[in-house]
Amino acid sequence: MARVVGIDLGTTYCAVAVADRAGTPSIVRNREGENITPSVVMFQGDTVVVGSQAKRSAATAPDHVVQFAKRYMGESNPIYHSESGTPYRPEEISALLLKRLKEDAELMLGEPVEQAVITVPAYFDDVRRKATQDAGRIAGLEVLRIVNEPTAAALAYGLDQSSADDGGEDRADGADGDGGAGIGTVLVYDLGGGTFDVTVMRVENGDYTVIATDGDRNLGGFDWDGAMMNHLNGAFMASGGPDLNEDNVLQAELRDKAEIAKRTLSNAPQAVVMFSVGGRHEQIRVTREKYEEITAELLDRTRILTEGVLEEARLGWDDIDRILLVGGSTRMPMVPKLIQRLSGREPERGIAQDEVVALGAALVALDASVRAEEAQEKRKYVGSGASVESSPGDGLARLTKGRVRSIKDVTSQSLGMVTTDLDNHDHQFNTVIIPHNTPVPAKKSDIFVTLYDRQRRFRVQVTEGDDEDLAYVKTVGESTIEIPQHPKGAPFEVVYSYDVDGIIHVEVKDGTTGKWLGEFELERPGNLSQTELSEFSDRVARVPTL
């Protein structure tokens, strides 16, 4: 069986995991012997340094170091230019990270790693999911699945809890205590280095069914670091020091010290930060209370999103059986304190927050490899092209002794179409076709009509967002096709499909003739073209990574 790895491609740290044939996931350490790898890339001429060494150099060589690439995924502008002037897009920086993770996994496992399941924030949209897939391909990986981080985390938590519940004995009878049957309704609060997700799911008899999810792709530990940076810089300037943000090296040092202070305050009531700049020496003392005060607005944003998901799921805190904290930023004491205040009980932090997502991804990777293996075996008997794959989760159910039988996620965004008013062609609005939190894979359609007699073209602009006003939604892709020339008002059925990876597919049917006009090839301005994908793949393959 080909080895498939699970990868948590994080904003600040990455992790790789594999699951054995017994269904037990484990972290694959990197070449430095670390369980997690900093998501930092440093350029040294023709060589790229990835991980801890690059992170240590961030304060001394900030102009050659790239961090937080995940925050820019799906954006077409370069986020770095090399000394020779070569532009690097977020997908390419992420691919360099993935290439290093792939090489480390091959070194530790002693075999080639060519396939992976990669996790993304639940709130990532179509463009960012496609960008993540592209990053994997550029790195030389076949990306079998894109999985939402909270869902992956719940899988790993569920198995961990099941082992404790059943005393380590293997059970597969589906009864309470068999390892997963009695988990109930779970809320996953996932606060990572750059993103926040909150997901409510039902876990029963090994079936993991997401009910509702929401999040903010620009809310995470990075923002808590930013608040600390502003506070420290303000205090230093108030004492007569210069503005540390006006110099790249000083700003990088400020960020590094702010992160250290944040981590210190997770374990101690106060932190002391020292600055020595331009002959000015200052010690700035920050208490945990002060830090919680200056970041209260950030924490409150997570509260609003969490309560919104509960409301959308039509649940109250009393309906939640387990609350799981995921992501390194949940180590800040203010996070469990908030959850305890809201829910009235302690949340769970049983598994290392930085590793749990990768462990869950490894379980999905195991399932993918088992189903592919079974399909290959069956094709020997039923012939090529037959529909022989197992249902999603079949392999997991067997290999995890029934603890995980199926995984059912939901759409993180509402998907719609730009529509023109029949009576006023200057008025355009958004029509939702697949609502937010629809179970995936999803397939829904709506009927639209032509605006003119003998209209020759039909344009589909795919939107993400709930609002009818186009100013408050995002157009993620579009395409135009030739259509038969019918009288004005001829109906056309537009069918949206949202696959398990969260990627959009569009088909159009002529309502007059009943003929399908085929699937659209969406033009996604934020994603790479096939030419760019090939070019970047060649370039990344040639770059030595250390």
- CATH number for the domain that contains residue 238: 3.90.640.10
Amino acid identity at 502: G
Query: For residue 270, which of 354, 193, 333 has the smallest C-alpha distance?
Result: 333
Query: For residue 390, which of 402, 409, 377, 400 has the smallest C-alpha distance?
Result: 377
**pLDDT tier at 162 (50, 70, 90 boundaries)?**
very low
The backbone torsions φ and ψ at residue 387, rounded to the nearest 5 degrees and listed phi first, read -85, 100
Q: Which residues, at least 6 apart from 212, have a Cβ–Cβ distance to it below 8 Å?
A: 199, 200, 309, 310, 312, 313, 410, 437
Tens of pLDDT, residue by residue over 103-122, are 999 999 999 999 999 999 98
Local structure of 17: helix, strand or coil: strand
Q: How far apart are CA 52 and CA 37, in angstroms?
A: 7
Tens of pLDDT, residue by residue over 505-525, are 899 999 999 999 888 777 777
Q: What is the pLDDT of residue 169?
A: 37
Give the CATH number for residue 461.
2.60.34.10
Tens of pLDDT, residue by residue over 450-461, are 999 999 999 999
Q: How far apart are CA 301 and CA 296, in angstroms?
A: 9
Active site residues: 8, 70, 149, 190
Asked if 281 and 425 sit in the same domain, the reply is: no
Structure tokens at 414: 């509402």
**CB distance 124 to 70 below 8 Å:** no
Q: How far apart are CA 376 and CA 386, in angstroms?
A: 10
Q: Which residues, at least 6 apart from 221, have a Cβ–Cβ distance to it below 8 Å?
A: 11, 12, 191, 192, 193, 194, 259, 262, 327, 328, 329
- Among 254-268, 297-311, 393-407, the range scoring the smallest mean pLDDT is 393-407
Rounded average pLDDT over 440-444 = 91
Q: How far apart are CA 215 and CA 20, in angstroms?
A: 32
Q: Which residues, at least 6 apart from 336, have a Cβ–Cβ distance to it below 8 Å?
A: 325, 330, 346, 347, 349
Q: How far apart are CA 403 and CA 385, in angstroms?
A: 31
Q: Does residue 181 fall inside a structural domain?
A: no
Full-model pTM: 0.86
- Among 241-250, 323-332, 456-465, 524-533, the range scoring the smallest mean pLDDT is 524-533
Asked if 503 and 438 sit in the same domain, the reply is: yes
Higher confidence at residue 246 or residue 374? 246
Higher confidence at residue 520 or residue 190? 190
Q: For the chain, how many residues are written?
A: 546
Q: How far apart are CA 308 and CA 311, in angstroms?
A: 5
Instruction: Please tell me which of 365-369, 414-418, 514-518 the model is most confident about, judged by mean pLDDT.
Output: 414-418
- Among 164-168, 213-217, 356-360, the range scoring the smallest mean pLDDT is 164-168
Q: How far is CA 409 from the centre of its chain?
A: 13
Q: What is the pLDDT of residue 3?
A: 79
Asked if 213 and 264 sit in the same domain, the reply is: no
Q: How far apart are CA 493 and CA 511, in angstroms?
A: 6
Asked if 321 and 430 sit in the same domain, the reply is: no
Asked if 458 and 499 sit in the same domain, the reply is: yes
R_g of the chain computed on alpha carbons: 25
Give the CATH number for residue 202.
3.30.420.40
Local structure of 9: helix, strand or coil: strand
Q: Does residue 500 fall inside a structural domain?
A: yes
Asked if 242 and 227 sit in the same domain, the reply is: yes
**CB distance 242 to 278 below 8 Å:** yes
Local structure of 91: helix, strand or coil: helix
Tens of pLDDT, residue by residue over 522-542, are 777 778 888 999 999 999 999
**pLDDT tier at 157 (50, 70, 90 boundaries)?**
confident
Q: What is the pLDDT of residue 177?
A: 39
Asked if 195 and 336 sit in the same domain, the reply is: yes
Q: Which residue's structure tokens are 């106060």? A: 270
Q: Does residue 198 fall inside a structural domain?
A: yes
Q: What is the pLDDT of residue 378?
A: 67
Q: What is the pLDDT of residue 510?
A: 94
* Residues spanned by the domain of 434: 415-519
Asked if 286 and 426 sit in the same domain, the reply is: no
Percentage helix, strand, coil, to 5, in the chain? Answer: 35, 30, 35
Of 294, 324, 359, which residue is a domain's last?
294
Q: What is the pLDDT of residue 45?
A: 84
Rounded average pLDDT over 83-88 = 89
What's the distance, Cα to Cα, between the start and end of the chain in Å?
Answer: 29
**CB distance 361 to 7 below 8 Å:** yes
Asked if 197 and 276 sit in the same domain, the reply is: no
Q: Which residues, at least 6 apart from 44, have a Cβ–Cβ distance to it below 8 Å?
A: 64
Strand partners, 480: 459
Q: Does residue 237 fall inside a structural domain?
A: yes
Strand partners, 509: 493, 516
Q: Does residue 12 fall inside a structural domain?
A: no
Q: Does residue 257 fall inside a structural domain?
A: yes
Q: Does residue 451 fall inside a structural domain?
A: yes
Asked if 312 and 271 sit in the same domain, the reply is: no
Asked if 252 and 306 sit in the same domain, the reply is: no
* Cis upstream peptide for 347 (omega within 30°): no
**pLDDT tier at 383 (50, 70, 90 boundaries)?**
low
**pLDDT tier at 303 (50, 70, 90 boundaries)?**
very high
Q: Does residue 309 fall inside a structural domain?
A: yes
What element of type H or E holds 206? none
Q: How far apart are CA 76 and CA 92, in angstroms?
A: 11
Rounded average pLDDT over 391-413 = 68
Structure tokens at 81: 């230019």
Q: What is the pLDDT of residue 382?
A: 56
Asked if 337 and 455 sit in the same domain, the reply is: no
| Number of domains forming the structure of the chain | 3
**pLDDT tier at 501 (50, 70, 90 boundaries)?**
confident
